[in-house]
Amino acid sequence: MSDVYRLLRFVLPGLVFVLETYIYLLLTNFSATNEIIVSNKMGLGSAGILLLAATGIGFF
């Protein structure tokens, strides 16, 4: 039982991250150039946006 729990602890945040990334890409219509333009206007690189998405994992 503890093995299942341990597995969920590592797999679930990963799935949440993938889902967040997918939703984000959906909102930007999968346009990479648009993502770069928007992120640069906000003073963030693509890494900054990935970091923001990754911090969402920290709440779990």
d(CA 25, CA 23): 5
Residue 53 pLDDT greater than 60, yes or no? yes
The tally of domains found in the chain comes to 1
Predicted local confidence at residue 45, as pLDDT: 54
Predicted local confidence at residue 4, as pLDDT: 80
pLDDT tens digit sequence for 8-47: 777 777 778 877 877 777 776 655 555 555 555 555 555 6
The residue segments making up the domain with residue 41 are 2-59
DSSP string of 2-60, one letter each residue: HHHHHHHHHHHHHHHHHHHHHHHHHHTTT-HHHHHHHHHHTT--HHHHHHHHHHTGGG-
